[in-house]
Amino acid sequence: MKPAEVYKLLIDRFGEDLILAYVETRNPYIKINNGYVQAICTFLRYNPSTKFAFLSSISGVDYPQRNEIDIVYHLFSPFLNTLCVLKTSTPRDLPELESLESVWKVANWFEREIYDLLGVRFTGHSNLKRILLPDDWEGHPLRKDYKEKNSYHDMETMRPDPLKVLREKNEKSGKSQ
């Protein structure tokens, strides 16, 4: 079953309100409504004709121009030997989505990572906390407009250019001599 056929299957099951578009790229993706991620994924996972048993990854992509954050689900079915890419958008100001933790346990950590790096909140997540960065980190680094703070807990985040430091030191010592 090719991704196009998966799209057809989804359209038949959920209708055009939930399944928004089918976009041809290198890995064609299916654009879905952001309110029904869980239902669609549950269907794809347990439907005997698809059996997308594996959640390969969840990624988040920030689009400041559109003011949206895209969340991309890569599902893999060894049964069909097909990759199914689901894409959904959530507003950038208040990004919120359903958690897939009840469908795949592995979504727990993927979603924590996206929450950590992009600031998307997942409703129904059991333990939505930062995972890679410290708990008291400010901002979400993978957002395109993220600016790193100058210091974290009084530790400089920027290192002076060692060559420059060396040059200045040499100049100083030259003067003193």
Partner 1 sequence: MKNPAKVNEAIRHLKPQAAPFEEEMSLNFGPQHPSTHGVLNFLVVTDGEVMHQALPNIGYLHRGIEKLAEMTPYSGFMPYTDRVDYLAAMFANQVFAMAVESLAEIEVPKRAEYLRVIVCELNRIASHFIATGALALDLGAVTPFVQWLREREFINDIMEALCGARLTYNYMRIGGVSVDMPGDLPDKILRFLDHFEPIIDEYNRLISNNEIFVKRLADVAVISPIDAVNFGLVGPNLRASGIGIDLRKTLGYSVYPDFDFEVPLGKGFRGALGDAYDRYMVRILEMTQSCRIIRQALEKIPGGEYRANVKKKLKVEENEVYSRVESARGEMGVYLISDGTDRPYRLKIKTGSFTAMSIVEKASQGLMVADLIALIGSLDVVAPEVDR
Residues at the site binding partner 1, with contacts judged by CB under 8 A: 25-27, 29, 53-57, 59, 61-62, 72, 74, 78, 81, 83, 85, 104-106, 108-109, 113, 117, 130-135, 141-142
Give whichever of 109 and 165 is closer to partner 1, judged by the CB atom: 109
Give whichever of 105 and 167 is closer to partner 1, judged by the CB atom: 105
- Closest approach of Cβ 69 to partner 1, in Å? 11
Give whichever of 98 and 110 is closer to partner 1, judged by the CB atom: 110
- Closest approach of Cβ 108 to partner 1, in Å? 6
* Cβ within 8 Å of residue 2, ≥6 positions away: 82
**φ/ψ (deg, to 5) at 132:** -90, -40
* Cβ within 8 Å of residue 22, ≥6 positions away: 3, 4, 7, 28, 29, 30, 31
Give whichever of 35 and 54 is closer to partner 1, judged by the CB atom: 54
Report how far residue 80's alpha carbon sits from residue 2's, in angstroms, rounded to the nearest whole number: 8
Lookup: tokens for 157: 């985040």
- Closest approach of Cβ 142 to partner 1, in Å? 6
Give whichever of 137 and 171 is closer to partner 1, judged by the CB atom: 137
* Cβ within 8 Å of residue 155, ≥6 positions away: none
Report how far residue 30's alpha carbon sits from residue 28's, in angstroms, rounded to the nearest whole number: 7
- Closest approach of Cβ 129 to partner 1, in Å? 8
Lookup: tokens for 32: 């879905």
- Closest approach of Cβ 109 to partner 1, in Å? 4
